[in-house]
Structure 1
């Protein structure tokens, strides 16, 4: 993921826990890529999300492995372990990650993709004033969530198909022994079964 030429690239960063990655993650990433003319979308699993400090999260190695299987075959998608490679147990702050990415890739314009439900929380993000000057935020429009706050004019809104699938639903189904076929890519479903993830 390094660009040697002088031409600037447009890269979308899609962060999340991806526990597990599911079909809708892939759909919205592709929709955002096309709508914004992005060269690539990098899926970035979080190590310790600040808003989920009290929740159990599946081991980093499993979440990354599922991501790599899910995006296999799409040359415009890749997974980055930049946050997983942190060796401490401190929360993953987007500000620190973006600074690191921009230092490593000076010829890239980064677009940080978030769900529309996260826009209302932007004022609470770590060092948000500096962050909005470093990266272009992109919000995936979802009904029922407020997109209005002091940072709204710094966010590009992208219309998305409204598909109600979440990692929480998938974990609950897997825990209950219910089918998750087609909710996740087949390679991910097989990985979950082979490794006994989310079982009761």
Structure 2
């Protein structure tokens, strides 16, 4: 099976993430998109992160009725911080029947040379890249790349957290069941 891996903190997951995952699942040869919930991103501070199991649960709630989308906690079991190459090595050993493609925004793709074992990533994996404003994919670094014009919503997890902390509504920014779970547990307050 061809699997797209959508890595992220998903702190919290929002409608923008879901639109991208749905677009990639429907407009590429990938048969499933797995949300890889990262417990710790080596390029981001972890102080503002909600507990990884709570973030995973919110992703599961958001995608529960879509068979093309799946949430995985694979990085919870790996050394921290999480590095994409280590996760891919683990997944290939655990699921040799699958072929993995990395899903990322063009902004992240432009930073790829900073990633651990960048040369192995571009040599051994393909990339599904969704365009982000201001970040053109001018160099593919020799990787197999498909660039997608996915619908873009300028929503960020940071904006959602700030909005919640200000006591304002996040309706329509996240699925209703995710919003209700966040409100019930007072996440990010």
Same fold (TM over 0.5): yes
Gaps of 5+ in 1: 1-8
Return the offset for 1:150. 5.5
Which runs of at least 4 in structure 1 moved beyond 4 Å after TM superposition? none
- Give the Cα–Cα distance (whole angstroms) in 1 for the partners of residues 19 and 56 of structure 2: 18
Q: Could you say what secondary structure the match of 1:198 adopts?
A: coil
Backbone CA RMSD of aligned residues: 1.4
Q: 1:146 aligns with which of 91, 113, 136?
A: 136
Please show how residues 104-183 of structure 1 align to structure 2 within 5 Å: 104-149=94-139, 151=141, 153-183=143-173
TM-score after normalising by structure 1: 0.89
Aligned position for 2:174: 184
Return the offset for 1:184. 0.2
Structure 1 residues 21, 102: closer, same or farther in 2, change over 3 A?
Answer: same
User: Does residue 42 of structure 2 align to residue 67 of structure 1?
Assistant: no
Gaps of 5+ in 2: none
Report if the CA contact (8 A) 2:122-2:143 is conserved. no
Aligned position for 1:85: 77
TM-score after normalising by structure 2: 0.94
Structure 1 residues 19, 54: closer, same or farther in 2, change over 3 A?
Answer: closer
Q: Could you say what secondary structure the match of 1:74 adopts?
A: coil
User: Does residue 8 of structure 2 align to residue 16 of structure 1?
Assistant: yes
